[in-house]
Structure formats: structure tokens, C-alpha cells
Chains A and B, each alone.
Chain A
Amino acid sequence: MNPITNTDYVTILPELVLAAFGLIVMLVEPFVTKGGSRKPLGYLACLGALASLAATWYQAGSPYTQGFFKMVLVDHFSVFFHVVIALVLFVALLGSLDYVERQHIRAGEFYALMLFGAVGMDLMSSATELVLIFIALEISSISTYILAGMRRRVAISAEASLKYFLLGSFATGFFLYGVSLMFGATGTTSILAIGPQLHAGGFNPLVFAAVALMFVGLGFKIASAPFHVWTPDVYEGAPAPVVAFMSTAPKAAAFAVLLRVLFAAWTPGWFWPVWISAALSMTLGNIGALRQTNIKRMLAYSSIAHAGYLLVAFAASKAADTAGISAAIFYTAAYAAMNVGAFLVISHLAGEGERFVAIDDYAGLSRRQPAVAASLALLLLSLIGIPATGGFFAKFYVFSAALQANLVGLTILGLINSGIAAYYYLRVIVVMYMREHPAEHEHGHGAERITIPEGVALTLSVLATLYLGIMPNRVLQLAIEAAKDLLR
């Protein structure tokens, strides 16, 4: 008798599809003629991303299904994150088609690693078992460590990969230690079983240590202070489309895990660590970004700050109240939309060997490439949180949830930080629109037009940002559904 039924396979359908496409890309790669274009592999990978989106769509028909002996749970929550991850993957793949050729990166492995990484991220958002979460987290992390080092001709890429790997393994150790203490305290590693155990068992100090250690491990993955030091160096060294991917998709997945661990099991003792980390991330991220002259480093610090805003939503979450959790879920989607776009512009303009990544290289961009400059300007305005962009509603929901939860101090700190952040985002816009490029004709930088895949990817990201900024209700509704399923 076979205890595994078709329903079980449906619960991991998007992951199966992605893994299958990853394998196909690997197998097709040797058949591409030597020296020929590797773009077909990229299109194949894009197809894989879309197929996983379709598989998620199919899953959405029967939400709240458990599979594989309660290892995975398909609910509105997992479906929401699967969609975000699949879309980010699709856009990042489109954006890397030309980049990979330009930088002479081994294309087959590059696309396969992106797909396999997404397998891990998808599993992270649907797993309800800490052991499976750990393995999925490792899949997602290890593939990003490798992707960060794929610019083999550049030393800082190897540096980024090694730094990310060493610090990341250290952080994973913390997470695993937390999991083992949680097992010691409750006798189970299933998130859905931990909650009832905790409420039946009464006060157990071991649980506090477990939660704190798991928060350290996940805090590293979401780049929240004080576990953020790796971010600028890794983002600077890693290939730009990879940063577009890894600053959004694995982060969304890590936030999903954090939401599940903290709120589905309703573990105690998370409030102050989250509060402190939120306050530190917002402040250190924004202050760090002020001094940067390299746009990748600047956006790295900005991503730390955004992790801080997101943690404010965590701190604002209360039992049986979905405002904070749904704000956090909405923020992940909005942040993914705008940040992927911003890094795609960087990857388009970076040139061979990523020579043009200083903010000054963006001088006069509005004249050379008006559409690209306008898109970047819009995405940066969204990162500030200007109305009519996704970033505005993301921040709005977070801070209104925080006020409802009486977190006045954290809200004020967040608003001050948003003000500081406006300065460095606007500086890039000013450079693009107000300043002339001094040596525009000498090295011909910025003359190359945006290619069709890059253009499509950028358009998608801009449209998503605008959609979330003008008609946020539909996505917010989905986020609330997801939060309800999470607390069920």
C-alpha cells in the first residue's frame, strides 16, 4: 500500500516543477553549441518560473491542504509567498539574460541554481516542520552563496561569496541550535504541534532561548541589524541580477518562516528582540546609506532599513489580530516589486565587469535613456514611500498597525527614518535629472539600449509597483486571508 497520494504531490507541485526545470536546464546545457548564445536556457528557466506560477494557481483551488505527513501546508499564506517568489524569479531571470552574456558567466549553472534556489524558498514558505524548514533554508542559502560568487573574473565577487558563506553558515548554526532547544522544550519540531504544547506546558525558559536563537539565524537571512554587517559587501560583489533576486525572494521566504515560527506557533518572548532589531535596522540602515557613493551599497543599506520597517509590523502583531501580520505580508510583496526593478536598472547600466555602479555614473541618465531613468525614479520614490506607489501603502499599513498596537515610539522612529531615507534616494534622482555626465562621449557609457527582456522585466516591476500603489485593496485582501490562515 502506498500511503503517499496524489494530494501529497499537489502540495509540493510548484517545487516539483521548479526542480524539474532546473534539471532540464542542466541537461540541455551541454547540447548548446560551444560559443553559441546561452539565451535559450534562460528562456527555458523563465518558462519554469511561469510553470511554477501556474502550479501555484492550481494549488490555490484547494487551500488548506496538508501533505507528506503534515510536513507541508498549502494555505493562502504559502500561495501568496509562492506567487511572490515565482514572479521575482521570472523577472530576475528575464533581467539576467543579457547580463549573463555580457559578464561571461556560466549560464547553464546560473539558471539552474536560480531555479533550485527557488525550490528551497518555496518550501520555506509552505513547510510546517522545522527540520524541513532547515533543509529548505539551506537550499536557498547555499544556492545564493554560489550565485554571489559567479562573477569569476572579479575578486570582490569571490570575497562576497566567501563572506556570505562563512557568516551564513554561522547564522544557520544559531537557527539549528534554536530548533534543537525548541525540540528539547516541547518534544516536537512541528510548528503546528508546538503551539498547543507550549500552552499546555506552562512557562519554560528553554523556549525563550530557542526563540531568541532562531531569531538570530533568521535575522541574518533577512539582513536585520545587528546581523546585517555582511549585506553591503555581498551586494556589492554579487552579480546585479542575483542581488535583485537575493534581496527579495530569499528574504520573503525568510520572513515567511519567521511569521510561521513566531505567530503560527505563537511562541513567547519574541517581542523585545524584534522591537530592538526593528529600531536598530531602520536607524543603522538609513544612516549607513547616507554616506554611500556606490549605488549597490546604498541599496544594500536601504534593504537593511526596509527589513527594519517590516519588523515594525512584526512587533505590531497581536494574537487574533491580523493587522500587523497582513501589513508585513503586504510589505514583502511591495518591497519585492520595487527592489527587483531598482537592481535590474543597475544590472542594465553596469556594463561589462560592472564598471558603472557609482551614483555619479547615473549623471545625465534622463537624457541618455529617459524611460530607464523615469522607471528608476519611480522605483526610488516608491522606496521612499511617496503616495501612488506600492511603497506608500506598504509603509502606511505597517505604521497604522503599529499605532493600533500602541507602538508610538517605534512609529515615530520609523517616520523619522523615512525622512532620512528620502535624502539618499532623492540624491540619485537629482543626479539622474539635474547633472550632466562629464565624460559622456568618451567611453560611450549608457549608449547601449535596453534589450527587450530587460525592458519587459523592468516594465513588469514598475507596473507591479504602481498597481500596489493605486489599487492595493486586492493584494491587501489576499494578505489578510494569508494572515488568517496563518493564525488558524
Chain B
Amino acid sequence: MMHTVLFIIFAVVCVAAAINLLAQRHPINSALSLIVVMGSLALLYLLLGAEFVAAVQIIIYAGAIMVLFVFTIMLLNAGEEELSKSSRVAIVFGVPAVAVIVAALAYILSRGAGTAALGDFIGGPKEIGRLLFRDFLLPFEVTSVLILIAIMGAVVLARREER
């Protein structure tokens, strides 16, 4: 009972912060909403009994990545965004399409969730470590290529053209 109440509270906070993120016009406000989203997600993980994942979520997402976000916004001195006139196509097709997709997903999730077995995986540091450095070693290592490409992309696209 307690569990469900806590879940509903943090889920509502999470969704509300996510909507607020989109609605805010100043990037800093959006970034702060994102922290709330990350924080409430961490609490949801905690409710599932995954303490380690919750701690990592706070340290990496709400901590490190958000610092980078805020830092970038400050560096770029990004001001309030200007709203462009919303296109008619977006309203005529987009809004109903979003409504249909959300309704369909909600219907499906409410009917068919919660049957898969995860075995005895609880999400402790030991299990995650074993998964990351044994079963998922290849994806883990391949991520380095991904990061390398991202760095190269930043260098290539941001460097000033000579001549």
C-alpha cells in the first residue's frame, strides 16, 4: 500500500517535471526540471529495490551530466527561446497522432505488463558488474568507438575553417 502511494507520488512528479521541461522557455529552467525528472526516476528505482542503480542515477545523471548541461547553457549564454508560429500540420496531424499513440500505449501497458521474469537479478553492484564486464563486455567496449566518433564530430564541426 505504502509502496503504491510512493510510486504514484514520484511518478506524477516525474511526468509533471518532464512536461514542465518542455513548457519552460528558459534553458536553465528546463535543465532544472530535468534534474527533478532524474531525481524522481532514481527514487522509482529505489522503490524497485535497485539501490545501486538509484545511486548511479543520482551521481551520473542528476550530478555529472546535469552539471555539463548547465555549464554549456551558461557558456553559450543561451537566452529565452523564441517560439515560432506552430505549423498547421503539427496541430492537425500531430496532436491527434500523439493522442492516439499515448492512448494505445496506455491501453497496452495497462493490459499486458508485468509477466516477464527477470530471474534472480536484483540490481546490486556485483550483478551489474558481472553483466557489464562479462555478458555485455562487447557492447561496453564498443561504446568507446561511439565516444571517439562523437569527439571527432565535435572537433570537425566546431573547428574554424582556415582560408
Q: Once bound together, how far apart are the Cα atoms of A19 and B148, in whole Å?
A: 11
Contact A69 B135 (CB under 8 A): yes
Contact B137 A206 (CB under 8 A): no
Contact A208 B108 (CB under 8 A): yes
Number of A-B contacts defined by CB within 8 Å: 103
Give A175 Cβ to nearest chain B Cβ, in Å: 15
Is residue A347 contacting chain B, with contact meaning CB distance below 8 A?
no
Query: CB-nearest residue of chain A relative to B146?
Result: A139
Q: Once bound together, how far apart are the Cα atoms of A438 and B116, in whole Å?
A: 69
Is residue A186 contacting chain B, with contact meaning CB distance below 8 A?
yes
Query: CB-nearest residue of chain A relative to B139?
Result: A132
Known: A152-B161, A161-B157. Contact between A116 and B148, CB under 8 A?
yes
Contact A206 B113 (CB under 8 A): yes
Known: A69-B135, A131-B136. Contact between A204 and B161, CB under 8 A?
no
Contact B112 A112 (CB under 8 A): no
Count, chain A residues at interface, CB 8 A: 47
Q: Which of A140-148, A243-251, A480-488 contacts B (4 or more CB under 8 A)?
A: A140-148
Q: Once bound together, how far apart are the Cα atoms of A26 and B105, in whole Å?
A: 46
Query: CB-nearest residue of chain A relative to B152?
Result: A109
Residues of B within 8 A of A72 (CB): 138
Query: CB-nearest residue of chain B relative to A186?
Result: B116
Contact B117 A187 (CB under 8 A): yes
Q: Which range contains the number of B residues in contact with the other chain?
A: 20 to 34
Residues of B within 8 A of A161 (CB): 157
Contact of A113 among B108, B119, B152, B159 (CB under 8 A): B152
Residues of B within 8 A of A139 (CB): 142, 145-146, 149
- 1/0 per residue, CB under 8 A from B, across A102-125: the answer is 001010010011001101100100
Give B50 Cβ to nearest chain A Cβ, in Å: 15
Q: Once bound together, how far apart are the Cα atoms of A89 and B134, in whole Å?
A: 32
Residues of B within 8 A of A113 (CB): 149, 152-153, 156
Contact B152 A184 (CB under 8 A): no
| Listed residue (B108, B113, B135, B142) with the most chain A CB atoms within 10 angstroms of its CB | B142
- 1/0 per residue, CB under 8 A from A, across B102-146: the answer is 001101110111011111000000000000001111110011011
Residues of B within 8 A of A204 (CB): 112, 115
Q: Once bound together, how far apart are the Cα atoms of A152 and B135, in whole Å?
A: 42
Q: Which of A126-157 contact B (CB under 8 A)?
A: 129, 131-132, 135-136, 138-139, 142-143, 145-146, 149-150, 152-153
Contact B116 A185 (CB under 8 A): yes
Residues of A within 8 A of B112 (CB): 185, 204-206
Q: Once bound together, how far apart are the Cα atoms of A138 and B138, in whole Å?
A: 15
Give A17 Cβ to nearest chain B Cβ, in Å: 13
Contact A187 B116 (CB under 8 A): yes
Contact A132 B138 (CB under 8 A): yes
Is residue A57 contacting chain B, with contact meaning CB distance below 8 A?
no
Contact B134 A116 (CB under 8 A): no
Is residue B83 contacting chain A, with contact meaning CB distance below 8 A?
no
Is residue A30 contacting chain B, with contact meaning CB distance below 8 A?
no
Residues of B within 8 A of A106 (CB): 156, 159
Is residue A4 contacting chain B, with contact meaning CB distance below 8 A?
yes
Residues of A within 8 A of B149 (CB): 113, 116-117, 139, 142-143, 146
Q: Once bound together, how far apart are the Cα atoms of A377 and B157, in whole Å?
A: 36
Contact of A206 among B109, B119, B148 (CB under 8 A): B109
Q: Once bound together, how far apart are the Cα atoms of A246 and B156, in whole Å?
A: 19
Query: CB-nearest residue of chain B relative to A139?
Result: B146
Is residue A265 contacting chain B, with contact meaning CB distance below 8 A?
no
Is residue A394 contacting chain B, with contact meaning CB distance below 8 A?
no
Contact B142 A132 (CB under 8 A): yes
Is residue A68 contacting chain B, with contact meaning CB distance below 8 A?
yes
Q: Once bound together, how far apart are the Cα atoms of A129 and B135, in whole Å?
A: 11
Contact A145 B153 (CB under 8 A): yes
Is residue A209 contacting chain B, with contact meaning CB distance below 8 A?
yes
Is residue B85 contacting chain A, with contact meaning CB distance below 8 A?
no
Query: CB-nearest residue of chain B relative to A68?
Result: B138
Is residue B2 contacting chain A, with contact meaning CB distance below 8 A?
no
A-B contact pairs, 30 of them (CB 8 A): A69-B134, A69-B138, A71-B137, A106-B156, A106-B159, A109-B155, A113-B149, A113-B156, A116-B145, A117-B149, A119-B145, A120-B145, A131-B136, A132-B136, A132-B138, A139-B146, A142-B146, A142-B153, A146-B152, A146-B156, A153-B161, A184-B113, A185-B115, A185-B116, A187-B117, A204-B112, A205-B108, A205-B111, A206-B108, A209-B108
18 more A-B contacts (CB under 8 A) besides A145-B153, A205-B111, A209-B104?
A3-B134, A4-B137, A26-B152, A71-B136, A71-B139, A109-B156, A113-B156, A116-B148, A123-B142, A135-B139, A135-B146, A139-B145, A139-B146, A153-B161, A185-B116, A205-B112, A206-B109, A209-B109
Complex A-B, nearest 8 residue pairs according to Cβ-Cβ distance, in ascending order:
A187-B116, A146-B153, A68-B138, A205-B112, A206-B112, A132-B139, A205-B108, A71-B138
